[in-house]
Structure 1
Amino acid sequence: MPDVSVCRAEELGRAEREAWCAFRAADPLLASPYFSLDFLDAMAGVRHDVRVLVTREAGRPAAFLPLHTGLLGHARPLGGPLGDHHGLIAEPGARIDLARLVEAGGIAVYDFFGVPGNQGAFRAHGRIEDGSWVIDLSEGFDAYLARRTALEPKAFRNLRARERKIEEAGAVLRVDDRRAHVLEAGLAWKSAQYRRTGHLDVFSVGWTRDLMSALLASRGETRGLVSSLEIGGRLAAVHVGMRSARVMHYWFPSYDPDFSQFGPGLALLMRLAQALSEDGVQEIHLGPGDYDFKAQLGSWQFPLVRGYVGRPSFAGAVRALAGSLERAGDALPRPVGGLPGRVFRRIDLMAGIHAR
């Protein structure tokens, strides 16, 4: 069995935190703010179920797996339903047996859905089901814009037409908007969108709002970022996200429906990309999802792995049964096909959002 310990975020010592930062710096796909110690500490401050599995080799830290523990040993990725990206923060070349790691950590079942595809420890227990779109700003905003315009001329022609309308009405971008009413408006618009589209409102529970506040108060490398676009002197669009030194995660965009004819959400994103490219941001991660705007604006994708790992236990048996039903449902024709999977994901989403 590997040398594995389980600890709280605040129990990670200086050696562990230095190793975590070194592992992150060595893997470009770990540059996302989701893999930072700042995000771990913010989550640990608003939820009591945050733990870290620490693997050591010859006494030195070799890998970290942050997660949320749950009933009957059922664990979920750090961030719960807000955690678009997650996985191991590991030493380059480390050979991690995920099943043995989870078992040594006393976990019965660990579900995952947004692990970067380069993490081989997870591929043995899941499959690539999606990808996270990336706006590549590494050569600057102008180079990005020219490349995407050439590949998606119609989409960017429409963006330019709406941009002209916004300019005529008068537009003001605030990249780092600290005004309290802007954050509240953004979250309120997002909650209304969730209800309107039949999705679970992730801001209906206290810890998600507390997390936003903690990230916005962070003075670390990763921090929350509220950005806004005013049109004609009125607040039209808000984005609530987070950024690390070189990656911004596109998280919770929202807008006032009264301004829908302007396309304010995409206008804010494009202006934000231009501003952040001048402040060291090289990538904007749009996350997974089959949305036209992500395919049109995204430069490329990195694959994401979904699956679970479990050991013989009651929780493991229940999860295996759910997995069997999900696979059987996927083989059926629409609209029945895929229904079990959607039901189980909805149940898991509710369990993750209401846990503390």
Structure 2
Amino acid sequence: MDITIHGLDGLGASLRGAWHRTMDTSPQYANPFLAPEFAAGVARHRGGAQVAVLREEGEPVGFFPYERNAFGVGRAIGLGLSDCQALVHRPGVTWNAHELLRACGLSVFEFDHLVEEQQPFGGYVTGTFASPVLDLKAGEESYAEWLRGAYPGLAKTTLKKERRLSRDVGELRFVYDERDPKVLRTLMRWKSAQYRRTGRMDRFARPWIVDLVDDLFQVREEHFTGVLSVVYAGDRPVAAHFGPSSSTVFAAWFTAYDPELGYYSPGLLMHLRMARSAARDGVRLMDMGRGEKEYKDWLKTRELRVGEGFATRPHPVAAAHRLWRRPVRGLRNTVLAHPGLREPADRLLKTVGTLRTRKR
């Protein structure tokens, strides 16, 4: 196996095409977070992003995007934002994790949404987690008919709330692929406020993340399209979502809604409308990402498994990184896995968020 390292900003058309063809060979690599467009977007806004290209007999057969710092600490490309991570390779290709890390100049590689099939990294996985997905089926029936067939338990309540929203605020309208950048700014503003209210880190307080989302919003390719979806009541945006889509997989990413209209469950309305429209657009899977949320349990048809952990080579930097990062992750996962701990932690974060919001 020959492994070469390349910058993502200047990746040529030939290698990008080979990467796309490699994604097409296996369904588990069809996720848009595994596309070169996402990796290149991260590279434009963060330093140290690279891709290792694996070749057999001179032919590119695998692509491993990653971020590397000056000390040889590596992380999955877009760690903390990406909901799917992997070395994208053709079926039957075998590779060795130690050889890969050595070729990349990495002492450690951190991941948190690793595709389950990545066997060479299997020994380094410290935990696996459910990632709910929704299998989509295209149909020509009306939205109400589709909803009653797909979600009979939710249909009555959802349609009632939609009618009430139309009556109270304005006629309901859904745009699957909205191209107005002002609405994208509205979504970011709503999401920032939500992060602050709930005591979470405000991702959109980080300029590079804002710039990345702005950048990806402009991408219109087969294997990666930045899709902004919006529910309107009259001319008023009620809920919005921005996420990437490939030709077959739609990744749920940033969803937010007008907090004044929370009574109408606009986030759920958003996901239901989005699922139907994505299916009509040819998408076959909506990946809702790792994490326990009530709406995910309502919508999912099954679950994938993703792994987190640290692939390492013997090196003092690798040992130090694991000693620093692993306890933090372990504590977080323990809290999230136990409702008796998770609910008090949520209440504490919301209290902190309320205090933080009042000070602004």
Aligned partner letter, 1:206? P
**Equivalent residue for 1:230?**
232
Give the match's secondary structure for 2:109. Answer: strand
Which residue number corresponds to residue 353 of structure 1? Answer: none
The equivalences for 1:299-310 within 5 A come to 299-310=301-312
Q: After the TM superposition, which of the residue ranges 43-52 and 89-98 deviates more from structure 2? A: 43-52
Cα deviation for residue 101 of structure 1 reads 0.7
Q: Percent identity?
A: 29
With the length of structure 1 as denominator, give the TM-score of the two structures.
Answer: 0.85
- Offset of 1:141 from its aligned partner? 8.3
Mapping of residues 278-297 of structure 1, within 5 Å: 278-297=280-299
CA distance in 2, matches of 1:317, 1:203: 32
2: CA distance, partners of 1:187 / 1:3: 43
Report if aligned partners of 2:7, 2:49 keep a CA contact under 8 Å in 1: yes
- Structure 2: which amino acid aligns with 1:84? D
Q: CA deviation at 1:337?
A: 8.9
Q: Secondary structure at the match of 1:34?
A: helix
State whether residues 79 and 111 of structure 2, in contact with CA within 8 Å, keep that contact through their aligned partners in structure 1. Answer: no
Task: Indicate the residue corresponding to 2:136 in structure 1.
Answer: 137
Letter in 2 for 1:237: A
Number of the residue aligned with 2:352 = none
Whole-angstrom distance in 2 between the partners of 1:138 and 1:212: 28
Residue of structure 2 in register with 1:313 after alignment: 315
1:140 positional shift: 4.1
Question: Once the 2 structures are TM-superposed, how far is the Cα of residue 47 of structure 1 from its aligned partner?
Answer: 2.2
Deviation, structure 1 residue 335: 10
Structure 1 residue aligned with 2:94: 95
SS in 2 for 1:124: helix
Instruction: Please tell me the residue identity of whatever aligns with 1:200.
Output: M
Q: Quick one: distance in 2 between partners of 1:321 and 1:63?
A: 31
With normalisation by structure 2, the TM-score equals 0.84
Partner residue in 2 for 1:272 = 274
> Deviations for 1:80-101, whole angstroms, at most 9, x for unmatched residues?
2111111111121111212221
Matched letter for residue 182 of structure 2: H
SS at match of 2:243: strand
Structure 2 unaligned blocks of 5 or more? 343-360
In structure 1, what is the Cα distance between the partners aligned to 2:67 and 2:149? 41
C-alpha contact 2:310 2:322 (8 A) present in aligned 1: no
Match of 2:37 in 1: 38
1:255 partner amino acid: Y
Q: Does structure 1 residue 19 correspond to structure 2 residue 21?
A: no
Taking the aligned partners of 1:239 and 1:23, their CA distance within structure 2 comes to 28
CA contact (8 A) 2:138 2:276 kept: no
Structure 1 letter corresponding to 2:193: A
Q: Between 8-17 and 19-28, report the one with greater CA deviation.
A: 8-17
After superposition, the CA RMSD in angstroms is: 2.7
Q: Distance in 2 between matches of 1:147 and 1:231?
A: 25
CA distance in 1, matches of 2:134, 2:193: 27
User: Aligned pair 1:214/2:215, yes or no?
Assistant: yes
Gaps of 5+ in 1: 339-356
Q: Deviations over 1:100-120 (max 9, x none)?
A: 211221101100110111221
CA contact 2:138–2:282 (8 Å) conserved in 1: no
* Aligned pairs, number: 334
User: Could you give the per-residue CA deviations for residues 217-264 of structure 1, whole angstroms, max 9, x where no partner exists?
Assistant: 123221211111122442211111121112211110001111011111
